[in-house]
Amino acid sequence: MSTATFMLLFSLSITAPDGAQLDEVVNVYSRSFSTEEKCNRFLKNYGALIRGKGLRTFQGMLKDEYTVELNSVSCSQIDKNG
C-alpha cells in the first residue's frame, strides 16, 4: 500500500572557493506532513525562519570557503510504500 506524504523540499546550489558555481543542484527533503495544506501552512508561517536557519544549517555541512545558496523551498509530494 502506498501513502502520499508531503515534505519540505530544499533546492540548493553550491559555489566553490574560487567563485565557480558547481553544476549540481542539491535537493534535500526535510519534515513530513500528512497533507499538502499542512505543509503549505507551515511554509507560510515559518518560511523566513526556515530560509534563515535552514540555510545556515546547510552551510555548516560544507567545507570551509564553499557557500550554499537556497534556490527554493517548497512542498513536494512523495510516495511512501508501506
The per-residue pLDDT string of the chain (82 residues; one tens digit each, 9 = 90 and over) reads 456 799 999 999 999 999 999 898 999 998 899 999 999 999 999 988 888 888 888 888 888 899 999 999 999 998 776 4
The pTM assigned to this predicted structure is 0.79
Characterize 33-43 residue by residue with b for buried, 16 or more Cβ atoms within 10 angstroms of its Cβ, and e for exposed.
Answer: beeeeebeebb
Beta carbons within 10 angstroms of residue 54's beta carbon: 19
